[in-house]
């Protein structure tokens, strides 16, 4: 079993992994031996803080080991076929995670690997982030409420969280500029769950009665050349104190980090009481990854 996309992750497996993550966190045991002798090999084409550290810590907590390999320092930088790389890594490790630009590269790895493969981020999806996000939402008792994703509604984080929240039956609102709509493929997949999924372009209207407000950077890795154009359209979608005042008073703020303070979110929001959940969210990457790795290696 692999985790390549949230779209293809069976709902029962998703809920099992998230429930296990919550259980592991409550136990708080960081010296387990479940994966003693097991090795995770992580491929990094994109830089990382939380993804890398959470995967490495998760394996350490479970008694296993993690080996990190980036593209620049490996033969992949010289054009070795991804199919060959996948076959070799499968001989060295028990599970592979990959943080990449193209989803097609991940699919190629999974096609030729003989061990489980995890999407640690591609331009299409960020499923591990969404698992931790949903864990955080449940821990704060908001899983029956309204989630509003504000800003870049066509990026990998938006794709994964809209599908995950919809599978839990949440009311999902994607709030974005008209020039940057959500991806139809993911929007239709979310609607097919039977959940209420809307696209609203007015931020104040979108956050009315919101239980969860989620934002992310407006300029993803690889899009730096679009900064001027994007800033022009996204500026009205900043999550600031005035906007949050239109949501429920006890709403929680989510941001997958890193945050560009003063751009998509202001300091007074990110450092405020409603955003304490952001740091839970970051921690939960570790617990969700522990639960996911255990599931994939125990199947």
Read off the pLDDT of residues 35-72 as tens digits, 9 standing for 90 and up. 999 999 999 999 999 999 999 999 999 999 999 998 88
What does the pLDDT look like over 217-247, one tens digit per residue? 998 766 666 777 888 999 999 999 999 999 9
pTM for the predicted model, two decimal places:
0.95
251-271 per-position pLDDT tens digit: 999 999 999 999 999 999 999
Catalytic residue among 50, 123, 128, 129: 129
116-140 as b/e: b if 16+ CB within 10 A: bbbbbbbbbbbbbbbbbbbbbbbbb
Q: Which of 52, 140, 285, 289 is catalytic?
A: 285
10 Å CB burial of residue 283 (0-12, 13-18, 19+) is: middle
Catalytic residue, from 140, 238, 256, 289: name it.
256
Active site residue 34: no
Asked whether 211 and 235 are in contact (CB, 8 A), the reply is: no
Residue 298 confidence (pLDDT): 86
Which strands make up the sheet holding 65-70, listed edge to edge? Answer: 65-70, 39-44, 95-99, 117-119
Catalytic: which of 52, 99, 140, 230?
Answer: 99
- Separation of alpha carbons 229 and 246, rounded Å: 28
User: For position 96, what pLDDT does the model report?
Assistant: 98
* Of 23, 198, 8, 176, the residue nearest 106 (C-alpha): 8
Q: Check residue 228 and give its pLDDT.
A: 79
Structure confidence at residue 299 (pLDDT): 63
Give me the pLDDT at residue 223, please.
Answer: 63
The arithmetic mean of pLDDT across residues 16-41, rounded, is 96
Is a pLDDT exceeding 90 seen at residue 197? yes
Specify whether 216 is catalytic.
Answer: yes
**Catalytic residue chosen out of the listed positions 50, 126, 140, 171:** 126
Residue 222: what pLDDT? 61
Spell out the domains of the chain, with CATH numbers in brackets: 11-125+285-298 (3.40.50.1370), 129-281 (3.40.50.1370)
Average pLDDT, the chain: 95
Q: What is the pLDDT of residues 101-156, one digit of tens each?
A: 999 999 999 999 999 999 999 999 999 999 999 999 999 999 999 999 999 999 99
Tell me whether residue 30 is one of the annotated catalytic residues: no
């Amino acid at each position: 079993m692999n985790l390549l996309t949230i779209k293809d992750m069976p709902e029962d497996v998703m809920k099992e992994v998230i429930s296990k993550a919550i259980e592991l966190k409550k136990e708080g045991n960081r010296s387990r031996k479940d994966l003693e002798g097991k090795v995770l090999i992580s491929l990094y084409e994109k830089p990382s803080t939380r993804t890398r550290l959470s995967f490495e810590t998760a394996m350490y907590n479970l008694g296993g080991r993690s080996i990190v390999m980036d593209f620049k320092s490996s033969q992949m930088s010289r054009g070795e076929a991804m199919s060959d790389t996948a076959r070799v890594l499968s001989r060295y490790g028990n599970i592979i995670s990959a943080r990449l630009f193209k989803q097609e590269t991940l699919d190629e790895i999974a096609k030729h690997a003989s061990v489980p493969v995890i999407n640690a981020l591609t331009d299409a999806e960020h499923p591990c982030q969404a698992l931790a996000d949903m864990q955080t939402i449940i821990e704060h008792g908001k899983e029956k409420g309204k989630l509003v994703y504000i800003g870049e509604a066509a990026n990998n984080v938006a794709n994964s969280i809209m599908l995950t929240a919809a599978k839990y039956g949440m009311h999902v609102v994607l709030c974005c500029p008209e020039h940057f709509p959500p991806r139809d493929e993911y929007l239709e997949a979310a609607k097919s769950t039977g959940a209420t999924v809307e696209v609203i372009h007015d931020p104040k209207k979108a956050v009315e009665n919101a239980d969860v407000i989620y934002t992310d950077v407006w300029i993803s890795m690889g899009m730096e050349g679009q900064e001027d154009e994007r800033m022009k359209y996204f500026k009205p979608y900043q999550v600031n104190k005035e906007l949050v005042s239109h949501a429920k008073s006890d709403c929680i703020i989510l941001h997958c980090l890193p945050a560009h303070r003063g751009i998509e979110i202001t300091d007074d929001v990110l450092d405020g009481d409603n955003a304490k959940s952001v740091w839970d969210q970051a921690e939960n990457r570790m617990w969700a990854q522990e639960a996911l790795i255990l599931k994939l290696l125990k199947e």
